[in-house]
Chains A and B, each alone.
Chain A
Amino acid sequence: MLQHPPAPPVISRSTAVLLMGLLALVTASFYSLAIKWGELFSADALRSGLEFIAGFAPPELAGPFLLKIAGATLETLSMSALSTLIAAALGIALALPASGRMGGALYAITRLMLNVLRSIPELVWASILLIAAGLGPFAGTLALAAHTTGVLGRLFADALENLPPAPETTLRINGATPLAAFCYAALPQILPQLMSYTLYRWENNIRAAAILGVVGAGGLGQMLKYHLSLFQMQQAASVIIAMLLMITVVDGASFWLRRKMTGS
């Protein structure tokens, strides 16, 4: 009679431990947060929630108010475009040392810098920069630029590091200066990648710029926060609709552009 080895377990032991850990994490989260389910689903809360939602209708559509919204939308778009430009310039400047072209010490320092810039979200940057730049869209622009510099710098540096080194080395061996070798060998190779990363971040930044204002950094978010805190629900509803419209339009445009560019 043939001896069959025992069938392998359905889940391996390490996966089982992992799943148990996840379960424990979820349980502990719900337990420690003490979410007020009772209050949330009580008749009282439901009624005030419904009242709250009913307050949104109809959205404020008066001419002057719509003009104000249009202004804030333009402000939001300018913040995002300007900050992406700044971030692309700073990003490439930081990516050069961060791709290991200027020695180990600079590599470590710039990578750390990019990591810190990147891991602090735009909103946190905005609320810190408010102190230096004052309330308004300028602080928002700087905040977006700071975070995006971290993101783009890292992506650019990775792109530079992953380049095949042969063309640049050839130029260098034949006596080209480092700058010339970079401009003629490395840059043309990564340029399409840089462009597509930058455009992608711009799209992201439009969305981020829309909400940054919640801490007072300009744009549509600032209007939303203002009207919500005055309990002017109808105005707030218009601002939210404007936000959604802007995001949808940008999404649509970028989808269309990408399909065009990938050429189909």
Chain B
Amino acid sequence: MLILLWPMLVFSEFKPWILFEAQSLQASWQFLASFVPPAHSGEFLQLLMVATWQTVAIATAGLTLALLCAIPLALLATESLSISMLETGRMRLAGGLIRQAARWLLVLLRSVPELVWALLFVRIVGLGPTAGVLAIALTYGGMLGKVYAEILDSSDVHGTETLLKNGSGRLAALFYGALPEAAPELVSYTTYRWECAIRGSVVMGFVGAGGLGQRMDESLKMLAGDEVASMLIIFVLLVGAADWVSTSLRKRLG
């Protein structure tokens, strides 16, 4: 245990005494002291409201685009709509290849962290919410697509199979067989991801993708503790509200 722990302590430069050096104590104390009272001038609060809305809007718009990319990919990747699999027990080569390709694309999209996508997009499209929306769209497109395909695969296939065997088209089989079966789970997962996207969009602001995070980054760099304090409060409230909305939505639909 110790043999493992020691190199970890060295690698992570674990030096708790830094925290208690006079210089850092003084800096932290000054910063913390400036937290009270939180900034509450009308002008600043207005700015904060705009930034908060921007954060929510980035998450919502990003998730909408993610849906646009996830749904077709999930339909390509799911096995429950394979006709050749039903007839012969094996997928045709072309169908199998397309499914694998869709899966790999989904894996690639979601394994690059959203923050890295955001960093890259900030370089391409410049500072601002566009980078955040695109980053969320790609990462969450990958996640949603994968989970949608899994949900469709694991839901009861009986209805879909019967429809397909009797010659219905794939889309019709999806709408009348698989979708009613899996809808509550799909919707509930999507709402949960929306909540995650709100948190994600705050974080991406730190690399310049707009919203609350970008403002917080600016205030932190200026060591404006009072502004940071009110932003943290707003942020905790926002996350709480998103949590509440998504839980009650899921209860209603699930």
Binding site for B on A (CB under 8 A): 14-15, 18, 25-26, 28-30, 32-33, 35-36, 39-40, 45, 48-49, 52, 74-75, 77-79, 81-82, 115-116, 119-121, 123-124, 127-128, 131-134, 136-138, 140-141, 207, 210-211, 214-215, 218, 221, 224-225, 228, 240, 243-244, 247-248
Contact = CB atoms under 8 A, between A and B. Distances in A.
A238 to B, nearest CB: 13
Contacts of B85: none
Interface residues of B, number: 56
A134 B12 contact: no
Contacts, number: 151
Nearest to B118: A214
Contacts of B111: 244, 247-248
Contacts of B64: 26, 29-30
Interface of B: 7-15, 18-19, 24, 27-28, 31, 53-54, 56-58, 60-61, 64, 111-113, 115-116, 119-120, 123-125, 128-130, 133-134, 199, 202-203, 206-207, 213, 216-217, 220, 223, 228, 232, 235-236, 239-240, 249, 252
A134 B112 contact: no
Contact of B223 (A18, A131, A248): A131
A98 B123 CA distance: 45
A218 B124 contact: no
Contact of A228 (B11, B54, B119, B223): B119
B229 to A, nearest CB: 10
Contact of B235 (A30, A52, A78, A124): A124
A45 B57 contact: no
B13 A137 contact: yes
Nearest to A40: B125
B159 to A, nearest CB: 19
Contacts of A45: 124-125
Given A120-B236, A127-B217, A141 B12 contact: yes
A64 B220 CA distance: 35
Given A29-B57, A29-B60, A121 B203 contact: yes
Contacts of A128: 220, 228
A52 B24 contact: no
Given A74-B11, A248-B111, A52 B124 contact: yes
